[in-house]
Amino acid sequence: MKAAILAGGYGKRLRPLTENKPKPLIEVCGKPIIEWQIMWLKKHGVRELVILTGYAKEKIIGYLGSGSKLDVSIVYTVEEEPAGTAGALKRAESVLKREDIFIVVNGDIITSLNPLEMVKDLETHGDAIAEIALVPLRCPYGIVKLRDNGFIMSFEEKPLIKTLLINAGVYVMRPEIFRYLPEKGDLEKLVFPKLASDSRLRGYIYYDCYWRAIDTIKDLHEAEVEIRRLFSSVS
């Protein structure tokens, strides 16, 4: 099974860190985001990767090379100008079109979810073309709980809101997806709504996993704290 990593964005909200390097090479606990992703995919048996590059592509290619130093095999596609997530994936059609199912990952997330659970679910639903990993929304604020008489009962720091689900940026897809992909545009805005309206898109909920999107400097600092707490040995 192959996995594609969307690694072509500018990472504007992480400036100035991304002024001289692409977002996937930003380090968390001393290791680039994309390396965390590769190690995670490898843990689940995925060793053939397609890196969808754009901004500062030469730095990603220079860092990862053929993938041999991480014990994986890597090929690259290149956006010469921004094409969006759907357009970037479209450029990998020749590499992925012979796969029964493949994994697609946004290049700015770190997670422990098991993507093979989604693969298995998609395999059992032949009418679906793609499946999105969903995780509960984490409240950005601490929550205060009140008793009926108005006295404060407890405080809860940034709880998960399990009734609200968000796109976790991990997808499994069949090659039929390429019929839906434009040359330019985003999966989230153009492709997924169309698949949903055609009843060809499934969601798979992960309640008990680690997940963090690295969009801002604040996210980066919080991820550092979380990962050091969750993983006893980080390099």
Mean pLDDT of 167-183: 96
User: Tell me, what's the pLDDT at 233?
Assistant: 44
The better pLDDT of the pair 201, 229 is held by 201
Predicted pLDDT at 232: 54
Annotated catalytic residue within 158, 189, 194, 218: 158
pTM for the predicted model, two decimal places: 0.89
Structural domain including 187 reads 2-135+165-230
Look at residue 76 and tell me whether its pLDDT is greater than 90.
Answer: yes
Residue 158 covered by a domain: no
pLDDT over 90 (residue 161): no
Token code pair at residue 149: 């008489």
**82: confidence class by pLDDT, cuts 50, 70, 90:** confident
Number of domains in the chain: 1
Tell me whether residue 197 is in a domain: yes
162: annotated active-site residue: no
102 or 235, greater pLDDT: 102
Look at residue 148 and tell me if it is in a domain.
Answer: no
Residue 235: pLDDT over 80 = no
pLDDT of residue 80: 84
Q: Is residue 155 part of a domain?
A: no
67-74 CB contacts, 8 Å cutoff, 24+ apart: 67/38, 70/35, 70/38, 70/39, 70/42, 71/42, 71/47, 72/38, 72/41, 72/42, 72/47, 72/48, 73/47, 73/48, 73/49, 74/49, 74/50
What are the backbone angles phi and psi of residue 90, rounded to the nearest 5°? -55, -35
CATH number of the domain encompassing residue 94: 3.90.550.10
Residue 151 placed within a domain: no
What is the mean predicted confidence (pLDDT) over 48-55?
Answer: 93
Whether the per-residue pLDDT at 234 is higher than 70: the answer is no
Residue range 11-27: average pLDDT? 83
The residue ranges of DSSP E strands in 79-210, in sequence order, are: 102-106, 109-111, 130-138, 143-146, 152-156, 160-173, 201-205
pLDDT at site 89: 96
Residue 53 CB: number of other CB atoms within 10 A? 25
| Residue 127 in domain | yes
> Is 29 part of any domain?
yes
Please write down the HEC assignment for all residues of 147-162.
CCCCCEEEEECCCEEE
